[in-house]
């Protein structure tokens, strides 16, 4: 059985490639769970939710227009499976009396659907798996925490290297490579801050 759901929250951190959306069960137990998505899809969802028009059609606008031009209508979105911490979605497109099922990432399906007010559903076994075993949340936290630990280690190593190299720098030496490394550290620190923010949202 497919359970009705809605997009309840979107967390956009532009300094990170990983964003988070939350789907919430409508009625019933009102269970909620996060899905980590890319920045491009997150911005597309946010733009289409706010009905912001662009001078030329963006990818999901183009897809919606193509489906409509071919006589189709996106009838519903179903988050249909969960495989190795990865959510799988299915677009149900009605064309005349025929239903066409299209495999999709949840992020793309939702980015398309929010602009069309398409109902969202989640397969019952997917919600049960998430709620009973916390596979999705644990997997997402694990990936983010692993990346956070990598960044902390890299920032520490580069910081110590820069400190040592600066001590050994003489007036006739070029310090441009050290400045570039410092810029790289600042980029990694921005990503680290974004990951910490996402992890905090996952804990809430």
Q: List pLDDT tens digits, range 163-183.
A: 888 887 777 777 777 888 888
> pLDDT for 113-147, tens place per residue?
998 889 999 999 998 887 765 555 566 677 778 88
Please give the Cα distance from 150 to 112 (Å, whole number): 34
The DSSP symbol for 30 reads -
Regarding whether 142 and 110 lie in a shared domain, the answer is no
- In this structure, are 17 and 104 located in the same domain? yes
Residue 23, class by beta-carbon neighbours within 10 Å (0-12 exposed, 13-18 middle, 19+ buried)? Answer: buried
Of 133, 164, 186, which residue sits at a domain end?
133
pLDDT surpasses 70 at 203: no
Task: Enter the DSSP assignment of 28.
Answer: T
Distance set, CA 81 to CA 121, 122, 132 (Å): 11, 9, 15
pLDDT > 90? residue 198 = no
Q: How far apart are the C-alpha atoms of 80 and 82, rounded to whole Å?
A: 7
Q: Is 105 helix (H, G, I), strand (E, B) or coil?
A: coil
Q: What percent of the chain has pLDDT over 90?
A: 29
> pLDDT tens for residues 29-83?
778 888 888 888 988 898 888 888 888 878 888 898 899 999 999 999 999 998 8
**162 and 113 within one domain:** no
- For residue 56, the 8-state DSSP code is S
Average pLDDT value over all residues in the chain: 84
The parent domain of residue 142 ranges over 138-203
Residue 21 is encoded by which pair of tokens?
């959306």
Which two structure tokens, joined as six digits, stand for 82? 């969960």
Q: Tell me, yes or no, whether 59 and 116 share the same domain.
A: yes
Say which residue, 120 or 1, is predicted with more confidence. 120
3 versus 57: the higher-pLDDT residue is 3
The dihedrals phi and psi of 92, each to the nearest 5 degrees, come to -105, 110
Domains of the chain: total: 2
- From 104, 133, 162, give the residue that closes a domain: 133
């Amino acid at each position: 059985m497919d359970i009705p759901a809605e997009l309840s929250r979107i967390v956009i951190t532009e300094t990170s490639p990983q964003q988070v959306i939350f789907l919430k069960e409508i009625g019933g137990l009102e269970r909620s769970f996060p899905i980590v998505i890319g920045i491009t899809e997150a911005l597309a969802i946010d733009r289409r939710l706010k009905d912001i028009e662009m001078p030329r059609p963006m990818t999901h606008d183009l897809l919606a227009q193509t489906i409509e031009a071919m006589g189709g209508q996106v009838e519903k979105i179903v988050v249909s499976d969960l495989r190795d911490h990865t959510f799988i979605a299915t677009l149900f497109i009605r064309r005349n009396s025929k239903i066409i099922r299209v495999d999709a990432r949840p992020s793309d399906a939702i980015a398309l659907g929010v602009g069309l007010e398409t109902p969202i559903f989640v397969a019952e076994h997917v919600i049960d798996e998430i709620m009973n075993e916390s596979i999705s949340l644990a997997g997402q936290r694990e990936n983010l925490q692993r990346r956070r630990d990598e960044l902390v280690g890299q920032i520490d190593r580069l910081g110590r290297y820069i400190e040592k190299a600066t001590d050994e720098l003489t007036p006739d030496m070029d310090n441009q490579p050290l400045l570039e490394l410092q810029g790289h550290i600042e980029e990694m620190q921005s990503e680290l801050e974004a990951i910490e923010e996402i992890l905090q949202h996952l804990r809430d």
